[in-house]
């Protein structure tokens, strides 16, 4: 496995590449050209600008998280073909720059969501949390305002300001889109890009819905073993794979994350892993916890063992961390707790490789 850390370019991160290269075992970053509007082509110049900076710290840029999908593709509008062409153009340029794995999601309208970006935990740290009962009572305005206000002046991935103006209209649009129709739009996209991925030697890794519970009656895409299976069968190429986000899937009490890790890794479909833990507060509510098994509800050793024994050979990153030791930064993406997470992952991986 190759350990990477998520990092945001253009000075929009409290964590520096100098910080990252000093975390033992971290080989590179998972990053995203945040200043290019969704749907536009990622040019060689823009890619190389970020890649050169990353490489100058001895780190690799082999993982992109995310190359976001324009809403017209998700909606299946006639303009989707133009956005798909742009997407393939970006893939070609990324491949020339040595990118091997692209993480993306197909969640309509908005990416991940939490009802509290800084819930205080019993040890005095704070972490992101989700209460479904609270979330369903909120208006879209309240939700977007809380995601902006709680972000400590950082942009949140998936909550780029350019999305805000159209969210209400987009939510309305999806009220008339059946799940079958939405999956047809996904298949149209996959059938167009996966042949390019094969030619370019790039693994595609869809991120699960986060949280897995439905909000605003929007279609859910990847939130269980069955839906992962359906998604991956839309195009059976090994390039059409999964980002196994243990926290997103683990937030669903119905999910057995060890079994999911085992099943899809054995099929050669897990290309990227976001390894983090969650603590359930009820069947629908949770807060993010420290990575350690005993701090949450997931058996992290069993997950790592399942990955190793099923032949996992992709990228892993520690995921959202708590804010500890007084750190402030982009919620979920501070330095200290993710560095502790990285060290824990290194330890688990060393243990399974030597003992199993
Ligand atoms: C949130 C992240 C997501 C993830 C995207 C992948 O912190 O886990 O924004 O990167 O869903 O496309």
Residue located nearest, by CA, to atom 9 of ligand 1: 157
Q: What is the domain count for the chain?
A: 1
Choose the residue to mutate in 210, 315, 319 for probing ligand 1, maximizing ligand atoms within 8 Å of C-beta: 210
pLDDT at position 159: 87
Q: How far apart are CA 44 and CA 97, in angstroms?
A: 8
Structural domain boundaries enclosing 238: 2-355
Burial of 311 (0-12, 13-18, 19+ CB in 10 A): exposed
pLDDT at position 170: 94
356 residues of the chain, pLDDT tens digit each: 999 999 999 999 999 999 999 999 999 999 999 999 999 999 999 999 999 999 999 999 999 999 999 999 999 999 999 999 999 999 999 999 999 999 999 999 988 999 999 999 999 999 999 999 999 999 999 999 999 999 999 989 888 888 888 999 999 999 999 999 999 999 999 999 999 999 999 999 999 999 999 899 999 999 999 999 999 999 999 999 999 999 999 999 999 999 999 999 999 999 999 999 999 999 999 999 999 999 999 999 999 999 999 999 999 999 999 999 999 999 999 999 999 999 999 999 999 999 98
CA atoms within 13 A on the CB side of 8: 20
For residue 60, the cross-strand partners are 28
pLDDT at position 155: 87
Angle separating helix axes 140-149 and 167-174, nearest 10 degrees: 130
Question: Residue with structure tokens 């290309």?
Answer: 271
Choose the residue to mutate in 30, 66, 245 for probing ligand 1, maximizing ligand atoms within 8 Å of C-beta: 66
CATH of the domain at 192: 3.20.20.150
pTM above 0.75, yes or no: yes
pLDDT at position 48: 98
Contact by Cβ (8 Å): 238, 201: no
Q: What is the DSSP string of 89-102?
A: HHHHHHHHTT--EE
Pocket of ligand 1 (CB under 6 A): 65-66, 103-105, 111-112, 157-158, 207, 210, 332
Determine the distance separating the centroid of ligand 1 and the alpha carbon of 243, expressed in angstroms.
10
């Amino acid at each position: 496995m190759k350990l990477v850390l998520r990092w945001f370019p253009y000075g929009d991160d409290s964590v520096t590449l100098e910080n990252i290269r000093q975390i033992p075992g971290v080989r590179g970053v998972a990053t995203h050209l945040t200043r290019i509007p969704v749907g536009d082509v990622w040019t060689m110049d823009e890619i190389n600008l970020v890649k050169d900076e990353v490489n100058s710290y001895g780190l690799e840029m082999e993982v992109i998280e995310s190359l976001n999908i324009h809403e017209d593709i998700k909606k299946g509008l006639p303009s989707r073909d133009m956005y798909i062409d742009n997407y393939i153009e970006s893939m070609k340029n990324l491949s020339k720059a040595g990118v091997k794995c692209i993480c993306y999601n197909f969640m309509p309208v908005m990416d991940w969501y939490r009802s509290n970006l800084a819930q205080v935990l019993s040890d005095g740290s704070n972490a992101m949390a989700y209460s479904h009962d609270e979330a369903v009572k909120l208006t879209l305005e309240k939700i977007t305002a809380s995601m902006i206000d709680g972000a400590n002046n950082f942009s949140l991935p998936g909550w780029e300001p350019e999305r805000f103006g159209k969210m209400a209209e987009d939510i309305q649009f999806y009220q008339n889109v059946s799940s079958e129709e939405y999956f047809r739009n996904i298949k149209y996209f996959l059938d167009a890009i996966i042949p390019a991925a094969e030619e370019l030697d790039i693994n595609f890794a869809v991120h699960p819905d986060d949280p897995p519970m439905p909000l605003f009656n929007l279609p859910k895409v990847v939130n269980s073993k069955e839906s992962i299976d359906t998604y991956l069968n839309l195009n059976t190429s090994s390039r059409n794979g999964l980002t196994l986000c243990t926290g997103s899937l683990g937030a669903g009490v119905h999910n057995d994350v060890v079994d999911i890790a085992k099943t899809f890794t054995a099929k050669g479909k897990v290309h990227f892993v976001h390894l983090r833990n969650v603590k359930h507060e009820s069947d629908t509510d949770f807060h993010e916890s420290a990575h350690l098994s005993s701090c949450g509800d997931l058996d992290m050793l069993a997950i790592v063992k399942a990955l190793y024994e099923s032949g996992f050979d992709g990228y892993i990153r520690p995921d959202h961390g708590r804010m500890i030791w007084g750190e402030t930064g982009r919620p979920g993406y501070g330095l200290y707790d993710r560095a502790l997470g990285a060290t824990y992952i290194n330890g688990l991986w060393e243990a399974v490789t030597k003992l199993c």
